[in-house]
Homo-oligomer: A and B are copies of this chain.
Amino acid sequence: MPTDALPTLSALSDRPATRREFLIKSSALGALAPFALTACDIDKPEQRTGAAGGSTAAAPPPAGPATAVRNPDSKLDTGGHANVHQSTAAVGGNQKVAFRRFDPALPPVSPDRTVKIQFTAQEVPIRISDDTVISAWTFDGDIPGPIVHVKQGDTVDFTLVNQGAIPHSMDFHSAQIDPKVAFRSVNPGQPISYTFRAKYPGAFLYHCGTSPVLMHIGSGMVGAIIVDPPSPLPAAKEFVLVQSEYYLGAAKAGVMPFDYTKMLATLPDYVVFNGRPTQYMTAPLTVKVGDRVRFYVVNSGPTHPCNFHVVGEQFDTVYLGAPPSVPLRGVQTFGVAPGGGMVFEMLADIPGEFVFVNHGFGHGQKGAIGILNVEA
């Protein structure tokens, strides 16, 4: 399959050393990796390859919360299922991972009505703050993955290449498609391709659906696809915010793994917009007085709502479903469900420094906060 010939949305060029270094380290760690591929190849002929192939020691099931009777995992797909309960850690080298702001601007809609997209599933370290590097599972090396922007009715020709050490997959919430086939897991080194038509406008989540899906969503394999309605919405400065909760274990050689047991306990360490806590406090979003501002808020969860609010402003329009139908007016805060997305609009008719937050502060204060600068 000529997947390398397909255009890639991600810009990996800024971290090739990191990526290569990570893969080498991962490979060396193969025998120690605390997981095994236990349910692979059930109905797919693809062959298992890569660093994890030699690992046969299955980890014990995760301890539930102290008082829990049990917490059975779901099996969301018919492909591989790895008993991985901490994300792979890239030992050492965390000093070499640079912090990078995630650009929240909605990229221009594709000029083509058939849009070719290729992502790679990658397990990489990401610096989320001066003192914290996490061991992420990603699409194209970042949390969230690349923002996709298409129009209602567009055909999306999608390919995922699994460059990770365990099975991964892709579930687009904007696709109407048989998930058993299209969203199936593929083993390391393998690609999967499928085509779908974007049926409804709105702000949709995409995520890895490999079992346990809580672990794959929770470790960073999430992103947003924005679908425009046929008649464009009013002109606006448009931003995409993907909320994620982070549940982290103790650092290994400077890199913190995602922790499945903590995900099940549902008390996150961080709640973030676009992967980094408070990144838009330091480097705010900027618009000008008179601009309409449109936030596409996608909540990857895995568990809590995103109670979206802008301090000092009110939304003149909120779309709970597909815009432009059923607009809510004059909204202060609305909860976006985990696995959901909504569109929030405001008219920036006065200058100032407006903070946007998840107003469920017990969780939201752990990083889901940023500044929108409205310049005179």
Binding site for B on A (CB under 8 A): 64-65, 67-76, 171, 173-183, 199-202, 204-205, 209, 212-214, 217-218, 248-250, 256, 262-267, 269-270, 277-278, 281, 301-305, 307, 309, 311-314, 316, 318, 320-322, 325-335, 337-341, 349-355, 357, 359-367, 369
Give the distance to chain B from A4, nearest Cβ to Cβ, in Å.
27
Name 17 extra pairs, CB < 8 A, besides A76-B357, A320-B328, A331-B340.
A68-B269, A69-B248, A74-B281, A74-B367, A171-B311, A173-B309, A176-B312, A176-B350, A179-B311, A200-B314, A202-B332, A263-B361, A302-B362, A321-B328, A326-B328, A332-B339, A335-B337
Given contacts A278-B74, A321-B330, contact A267 B265 (CB under 8 A): yes
Give Cα A200 to B200, complex, Å: 30
Which 5 pairs between the two chains have the least Cβ-Cβ distance? A178-B352, A339-B359, A200-B330, A322-B330, A303-B362
Known contacts: A178-B351, A301-B361, A359-B339. The answer to whether A201 contacts B330 by CB under 8 A is: yes
Most chain B Cβ neighbours within 10 Å, of A320, A332, A355:
A332
Closest CB in chain B relative to A58 CB, distance in Å: 19
Pair A359/B301 contact, Cβ less than 8 Å? yes
* B214 x A361 contact (CB < 8 A): yes
18 residue pairs of the A-B complex, CB under 8 angstroms, read A72-B367, A174-B314, A176-B350, A179-B311, A180-B353, A183-B312, A205-B333, A264-B362, A266-B267, A303-B360, A303-B361, A304-B362, A307-B338, A321-B328, A326-B329, A332-B339, A338-B360, A339-B360
A74 to B182, CA, bound (A): 41
* Residue pair B75, A281 in contact (C-beta under 8 Å): yes
| CB <8 Å contact, A361 and B302 | yes
Quick one: given A201-B330, A322-B329, are A301 and B360 in contact (CB under 8 Å)?
yes
> Are B73 and A332 in contact (CB-based, < 8 A)?
no
Chain B: CB-nearest residue to A179: B312
Of B269, B333, B337, B354, which is within 8 A of A360 by CB? B337
The answer to whether B266 and A362 have CB atoms under 8 Å apart is yes
Expressed in whole angstroms, the Cα–Cα distance for A64 and B366 within the complex equals: 11
Residues in B whose Cβ lies below 8 Å from that of A369: 74, 76
Q: Which chain B residues lie closer than 8 Å to A332 at the CB level?
A: 173-174, 202, 204-205, 339-341
Q: How far is the CA of A137 from the CA of B3 in the complex (A)?
A: 56
Chain B residues with CB under 8 A of A278: 72, 74
Is B361 a contact of A338 with CB atoms below 8 Å? Answer: yes
Q: How far is the CB of A223 from the nearest CB of chain B, in Å?
A: 14
Known contacts A199-B330, A266-B267; is-contact A181 B352 (Cβ 8 Å): yes
B-side contacts of A362, CB under 8 Å: 214, 263-264, 266, 301-304
A78 closest partner in B (C-beta): B353
Q: How far is B340's CA from A328's CA once the two chains are assembled, in angstroms?
A: 14
On chain B, the residues within 8 Å of A339 by CB distance are 307, 309, 332-333, 359-361
- Name the one of B329, B330, B340 contacting A333, with C-beta atoms under 8 angstroms: B340
Docked CA distance A209–B313 (Å): 14
Please give, as numbers and ranges, the residues of chain B lying within 8 Å of A355 by CB-CB distance.
76, 179
Closest to A180 in B: B353
Complex CA–CA separation, A179 to B180 (angstroms): 47
